[in-house]
A and B are shown apart, each in its own frame.
Chain A
C-alpha cells in the first residue's frame, strides 16, 4: 500500500522568501511522485513529476522537487515566492502495479499563503 504525508496543512511565507512544502511517501515498490497545485475554483494542475529519471525535478512556475530515497521525501521548493503562488498544493504517489490504470494516492494538501 502507498501513502503520502504532507507536513503542515497551512504554510505562510513572505513574498520573495523561500517556499518549502514537505512531502514524505511510503511505498513498497519504486514510486512515481507528483506535485499538483489547485487554485480556487479550478481543477488540479500538474506542477512536476518524478518517474525515476533525474532526482531533481524542475516544474512549472519556478518550482522544483528533489527525490530523496533515503529520506523517503519529495519536498517542493521555490527560491522566491510570488503572490500568484498562493494556492493548495497536493503531493501524490503512484506506481506501475496496474499498468495503464495507475492510481494516484494523494496527501491531504498544504495551503500556501503569501504575505505581501
Chain B
C-alpha cells in the first residue's frame, strides 16, 4: 500500500511554544488529508479535513487558531499546535486519501502518529 510519513514521531515542548507536525504522502498525491487526535483509551477524533490549496474544514469544537493546518502541496500537510498547553498533549494522526473519488473507491492511508507532550 501507499506510504504516509508523519514527523516527528515524538515531541516534547514547553508550554506556550508552538509545534509543527508534518504529514507526507511519499508515493502518491493526496488531494485530501485528515488530521485526528487520539486520547488514551479513546477513539480517533477527527479534527479537520484539508484539501490541497484551500482552507481546512474544522470539526465542531476544534479551535482553528490553535490548530493551524496547511495543505500547500499534494504531498504535504502540516499541523501546527500554537501556544501549546499541557491539555494539548495527545497522539495526533494524519491520513491521506489517494485518488479522486469517494470513500467507496479510494483508500485513506495513515501516518504512524505523533506523540505530543507539553510540559
Contact = CB atoms under 8 A, between A and B. Distances in A.
A46 interface: yes
A22 to B, nearest CB: 15
A90 B43 contact: yes
B87 to A, nearest CB: 20
Interface of B: 1, 4, 6, 9, 32, 34, 36, 41-46, 49, 51, 57, 93, 95, 100-104, 107-113
Is the contact region of chain A dominated by helix, strand, or loop, or is it mixed? loop
A44 interface: yes
Contacts of B113: 43
B55 to A, nearest CB: 13
Interface residues of A, number: 25
Contacts of A42: 112
Interface stretch (A13-21, A61-69, A77-85, A99-107): A99-107
A45 B43 contact: no
Contacts of A105: 43, 46
B57 A46 contact: no
B103 A32 contact: yes
A104 B41 contact: no
Contact of B32 (A90, A94, A100, A107): A100
